[in-house]
Structure 1
Amino acid sequence: MYVRHLSLVDFRSWSTVEWPLDPGVNVLIGRNGAGKTNLVEALGYLATLSSHRVASDAPLIRRGAERAIIRAAVVSDGRELLLEAEITAGKANRARINRAPVTRARDILGVLRTVLFAPEDLALVRGDPSERRRFLDEVLIMRTPRLAGVRSDYDRVLKQRSALLKSAGRGRGGADLSTLDVWDEHLAASGAALLLARMELVLEITPHVVAAYSDLAPSSEAIDLLYRSSLGEAMPGPTPTEAELAAALLAEMGRLRQQEMDRGVCLVGPHRDDLELRLGEGPAKGYASHGESWSFALALKLGGFSLLRSDGVDPVLVLDDVFAELDTSRRGRLTHLVADADQVLVTAAVPGDVPSTLAGIHHLVAEGKLEMVT
């Protein structure tokens, strides 16, 4: 898989830009703030319908504009598809495939697969559980796009149930409690589907991540991944079914009902889970060195890349200002690991940050323009 062309209108700093790409390595060179990361962010948005830099879509629209448009020609298995996403402030986003509108924007998910690694990804190791949950869900949805609907349903029910808990906890009548029972069932159903998918993903991705980390940091301690569910000891066995998980979630919600009402929050469900990263005999968070943390974060992304590749289609690999953060040894190992990808997009502030072994097409980003330099 590779992207043949990217067009942007009023996206971030770009009023308009056309970026022709080739298979293999494509390098963007430009100072910080020149707009190179905005280009790869746009591709990531087409793949996930979210940004790796901001939580909402509003900052993606150029200041003063009403909407932003992203178009990309994606080639996979000899077939080319034109993807388009239109981001409008305060309104539902729209999407097209080959210029034909789709019913929901998320219907374009799965057409373009990308794996992006950026300096912000250090938060996968050092940040909150939400960072690791997001990582898992992005890989899940790229592999199985229908899970975007499951996660959307879960988020919607979670929001409604949380509002009811706050209302019931403030003593606003018994109607909230009777309604809450219904939302408990909905949350358990969608939560079980998401939980099972995440647990199965962790089992599949772990050997890929372990292998990538071993390549990047061969002298480091061994690593492991463990999925920590809010069910805790209430987890129904090591290999539960979706029905068993739904029943367990429902039972826990009943057991914790008073605590949830007192605090006005949902205390059980996939939104409370974490992916525990282990280094040696203990957690990586708080104990891994700076180099180990970088290697672990990069291994997670490379593990995702390897798993997606095992499905039969290479995702587009994006390395956004990564090499400046790595020492010479890790640069060399990373270059070796990505050299045979269908397409690699690299951004860097100066040419010297990019290993010479990553030969490819170079573009210069400066003064609001994009120019090919080699």
Structure 2
Amino acid sequence: MHLRHLQVADFRSWEHADLELAPGAAVLVGANGQGKTNLVEAIGYVATLGSHRVAADAPLVRHGQDRAIVRCAVVNEGRELTVELEITPGKANRARINRGPVPRPRDVLGILRTVLFAPEDLALVRGDPGERRRFLDDLLVLRAPRYAGVRSDYEKVLRQRNALLKSAATNRRARRADPDALATLDVWDGHLATQGALLLAARLDLVAALAPHVAAAYAGVAPESQPAQAVYRAKIADSLPAGYGVPGGESADIEVVADALLAEMVTRREAELDRGVSLVGPHRDELELILGEVPAKGYASHGESWSVALALRLGSYELLRAEGSEPVLVLDDVFAELDRRRRQRLAEVALGAEQVLVTAAVEEDVPSELAGTRYLVADGEVRRV
């Protein structure tokens, strides 16, 4: 898979940019603030319908404009597809494939797959559990786009159930009886268990497949360090068979997971009513990153943290590649953050990619092995040099 063409209009700082690309390495060089990262952010948006830098769409639209456009041509196994996304904050975004409109933007997912490593990835190790859950869910959608719908449905059910719990908690504190709310809560318990089981079972299977790749990638970039592990910690783990989420273990059974979620909701019902929030479900789980016998968060050095973050991305890349869907590898201004050995290891992986896109403020930061096509990004223009 490779990106042949990228065009943006009113995206971030770009009034307009047009970039022809080819398989192999492409390096975008320019001073900080010239818009290099904005271009790879646009590419990532096509792949995931989200940004690796912000949670909302509004910052993606150039100041003073109503909408942004991202178009790209993707070649996969000799077949080319054109994707266009129209980003309009406050309204429904629109998407086209080969100039024909599609019902939902998420219908474009899977056409372009990317694995992006960026300075923000340090938050995967040092940030809160939500960062790691988002990493898993983004990778889950890259691996199987249908999970975008599962993820969206779960979030909708969770919002509805939380709203009901908040109302019930308010009534309880005011000593107002509300039997209808409790009856309705039973219905939402079922919905949350159904959608939550789909998401949780998929995460368990994903981590079981991903963990060996992460461990191998970490050993490659930090051979002197303690071994790294990625372990999924489900809040309902005690109610699940021991082999779920373990490399080589059995695949998670959705019905078993749903039953475990329902049983835990019954156990936590009083606590949920007191606090007015859902305490059960995959939104409470954690992807634990372990070095030796201790959590990476809080114990890993700065260099080790970078290595773990890099291992997560390289592991993701190798997993997708092993499953027959080689993604575009995007390295956003990361070589300046890595020491010589880590640069070398990353360059070795990048050389094996069908296409790798690199951004750098200083050309000398990019290993000589990645001596592909060079582009200069400056003064609102991007041009091949």
TM-score by length of 1: 0.98
Question: What residue in structure 1 maps to residue 160 of structure 2?
Answer: 160
Correspondence for 1:176 among 163, 181, 184: 181
How much has 1:134 moved relative to structure 2? Answer: 0.9
Distance in 2, matches of 1:304 and 1:105, equals 24
Distance in 1, matches of 2:292 and 2:230, equals 11
How much has 1:281 moved relative to structure 2? Answer: 1.1
Give the letter for the 2:151 counterpart.
Answer: R
How much has 1:237 moved relative to structure 2? Answer: 4.2
SS at match of 2:106: helix
Distance in 1, matches of 2:183 and 2:380, equals 57
Give the letter for the 1:262 counterpart.
Answer: D
How much has 1:225 moved relative to structure 2? Answer: 1.2
Distance in 2, matches of 1:219 and 1:365, equals 38
Structural mapping, 1:241-260, within 5 Å: 241-260=253-272
Distance in 1, matches of 2:27 and 2:241, equals 49
How much has 1:177 moved relative to structure 2? Answer: 1.3
Correspondence for 1:298 among 310, 315, 325: 310
How much has 1:77 moved relative to structure 2? Answer: 0.0
Question: What residue in structure 2 maps to residue 322 of structure 1?
Answer: 334
Structural mapping, 1:176-255, within 5 Å: 176-239=181-244, 240-255=252-267
How many equivalent residue pairs? 373
Correspondence for 1:344 among 337, 356, 366: 356
Contact 1:141 1:148 (C-alpha < 8 Å) held by counterparts:
yes
Distance in 2, matches of 1:314 and 1:27, equals 19
Distance in 1, matches of 2:260 and 2:324, equals 35
Question: What residue in structure 1 maps to residue 86 of structure 2?
Answer: 86
Measured against aligned partners, the alpha-carbon deviations of 1:321-366 in whole angstroms (never above 9, x if no partner) come to 1000001121112111221100000000011111111110111111
Contact 1:157 1:187 (C-alpha < 8 Å) held by counterparts:
yes
Which segments of 5 or more consecutive residues in structure 1 lack a partner in the other structure?
A: none
How much has 1:234 moved relative to structure 2? Answer: 2.7
Give the letter for the 2:75 counterpart.
Answer: V
Contact 1:73 1:82 (C-alpha < 8 Å) held by counterparts:
yes
Distance in 1, matches of 2:32 and 2:275, equals 44
TM-score by length of 2: 0.95
Q: Please, which moves more after superposition, 137-146 or 237-246?
A: 237-246
Q: Please, which moves more after superposition, 167-176 or 205-214?
A: 167-176
How much has 1:231 moved relative to structure 2? Answer: 1.1
Give the letter for the 1:179 counterpart.
Answer: T
Contact 1:236 1:248 (C-alpha < 8 Å) held by counterparts:
no
* C-alpha spacing 1:156/1:307, structure 2 compared with 1 (3 Å): same
Give the letter for the 2:238 counterpart.
Answer: E
Give the letter for the 2:293 counterpart.
Answer: E
Q: Alignment RMSD, CA only?
A: 1.0
Give the letter for the 1:84 counterpart.
Answer: E
Q: Does 1:334 align with 2:346?
A: yes
Distance in 1, matches of 2:154 and 2:325, equals 29
Distance in 1, matches of 2:355 and 2:242, equals 41
Give the letter for the 1:333 counterpart.
Answer: R
Give the letter for the 2:69 counterpart.
Answer: I
How much has 1:232 moved relative to structure 2? Answer: 3.7
Distance in 1, matches of 2:230 and 2:311, equals 11
Contact 1:168 1:174 (C-alpha < 8 Å) held by counterparts:
no
Q: Does 1:27 align with 2:39?
A: no
Distance in 2, matches of 1:216 and 1:144, equals 28
Contact 1:97 1:108 (C-alpha < 8 Å) held by counterparts:
yes
How much has 1:314 moved relative to structure 2? Answer: 1.3
Measured against aligned partners, the alpha-carbon deviations of 1:189-219 in whole angstroms (never above 9, x if no partner) come to 0000100000001110111111111111111
Distance in 1, matches of 2:324 and 2:19, equals 27
SS at match of 1:66: coil
Distance in 2, matches of 1:280 and 1:334, equals 23
SS at match of 1:245: helix
Distance in 1, matches of 2:371 and 2:70, equals 27
Measured against aligned partners, the alpha-carbon deviations of 1:132-158 in whole angstroms (never above 9, x if no partner) come to 111111111111111110110000000
Q: Does 1:10 align with 2:10?
A: yes
How much has 1:238 moved relative to structure 2? Answer: 2.9
Structural mapping, 1:277-288, within 5 Å: 277-288=289-300
Structural mapping, 1:35-54, within 5 Å: 35-54=35-54
Contact 1:236 1:245 (C-alpha < 8 Å) held by counterparts:
no
Question: What residue in structure 2 maps to residue 142 of structure 1?
Answer: 142
How much has 1:256 moved relative to structure 2? Answer: 0.8
Distance in 1, matches of 2:298 and 2:203, equals 24
Distance in 2, matches of 1:119 and 1:317, equals 15
Q: Does 1:95 align with 2:95?
A: yes
Question: What residue in structure 1 maps to residue 248 of structure 2?
Answer: none
